Structure 1
Amino acid sequence: MTDTAGTEPRRCARVLVVDERDRVLLLHSSGFVTPESEFFVTIGGGIDGEETAAEAAARELFEETGLRVDPAALGEPVGHTAGTWWIGPDDHVFFLLRVERFAVDFAHLEASEIGELTGSMWLSIDEVKAVDDGIFPVPVADLLKRLVGGDLPAAPVELPWANWRGDTKRFPLPE
């Protein structure tokens, strides 16, 4: 295990994208952590330099899906989690974005993401619940159920850190 004592957490911003039918967009990764690993990924990544969390989330949304949005359209964060995983400490904020369904375009991925992201899928809340412990960085089904039900929190909901490993189960794309 890597010694991460005294290491500043990597600041990250994520977007929970939900369409008009209450389907959630998740990305899929296969063979990235280990050759056997398959898991789902919420859209997002690291906050660069002086970016705000919303600016980073909007940038990551474009890079990972091809969808451009004004950072202001993301509103305030709806969730937060922090913890240490195999690379080091992470601190994530989550935004909610309601959209009309769109086709994901991986043409703008960063070089490091090209081999990591292998697909995408719009899942119902029940389907998200079924794969929840295979979602990076933390399970989000309960938060999504709340948000889709119209219960927007006044402050970000603290999501329990799941000590996510990504290599304990397979979460292939549903048929």
Structure 2
Amino acid sequence: MGELVRRRCARVLLVDEEDRVLLFRSVDYMGPGVEYYVTPGGGLDAGESLEAGAVREVFEETGLRLDGPLGPVAAETAGVWSDGPDLAVESEDAYFFVRVPHFDPVRDGLEAIEQREFTEAVWLTIPEVTQIDALVFPARIASLLTALLDGAIPAAPLRIPWGAWTWDTDRGWTTTERAPILDR
């Protein structure tokens, strides 16, 4: 494996009034027939707080401006991922849970690579998320969303298992076992 980069990420579970969560769907970007989903969010800029990074990423990726405090971090996960043999990313991801009115995401602020990667933005119900949960990057979110929608905002962030994939020079893409949400 090539270079290892450490990265802190802020991710946002945007949920509308019908309890649907916004995810970005990717098809064929990593290879023919490869499909996965990504929550809005991404890496922090130097000196940026988690909340500021979350607000910036949501605006860049969806066009939505979040006003006011986002509330506490609902969950965290950490692990290594890569999208090829030359770079591995050791990532620590924090998830915010934010209720928003339904809107149509605007993709104008996406970086060029994100415009190619994210085939579409989709609003999914919990049953729909449960069906594709193993394809959500970098960690499963269905159980977390169910708990959050039931009003279980944790006093401290829940620790959710990492589920992203990495490049293995002998085997190509490898995935990690995805387990249910665990408390810290």
Tell me the TM-score normalized by structure 1. 0.87
Identity, in percent, stands at 45
CA distance in 2, matches of 1:37, 1:145: 27
Gaps of 5+ in 1: 170-175
What corresponds to 1:79 in structure 2? Answer: 75
Inter-partner Cα distance in structure 2 for 1:168 and 1:122? 28
- Quote how far apart the aligned CAs of 1:61 are: 0.4
- Unaligned stretches of 5+ residues in structure 2: 83-87, 168-172, 176-184
- The answer to whether the 8 Å contact 2:137/2:163 transfers is no
Structure with the higher fraction of residues in strand conformation: 2
Partner of 1:162: 163
1:60 to 57, 60, 65: 57
Instruction: Tell me, yes or no, if structure 1 residue 22 matches structure 2 residue 19.
Output: yes
The whole-number CA distance in structure 2 between the counterparts of 1:140 and 1:147 is 10
Deviation at 1:165, TM superposition (A): 5.2
Of residues 34, 50, 60, the one that matches 2:47 is 50
d(CA) in 1 for partners of 2:135, 2:118:
14
Give the number of equivalent residue pairs.
165
Shift of 1:36: 2.8
Q: How many angstroms does 1:168 deviate by?
A: 7.7
Q: Report which structure shows greater RCO (CA 8 Å, sep ≥6).
A: 1
Q: What code does the residue aligned with 2:118 have?
A: L
Q: Assess if the C-alpha contact under 8 Å between 2:137 and 2:164 holds in 1.
A: no
Alignment partner, residue 111 of structure 2: 110
* 1:37/1:168 contact within 8 Å kept: no
Cα deviations by residue, 1:4-37 (Å, 9 ceiling, x for unpaired): 3xx5x21100000111111111111122222331
Aligned mates of 2:143, 2:117 — CA distance in 1: 26
The one-letter amino acid paired with 1:17 is: L
User: Structure 1 residues 165 and 130, CA, compared in 2 at 3 Å: closer, same or farther?
Assistant: farther
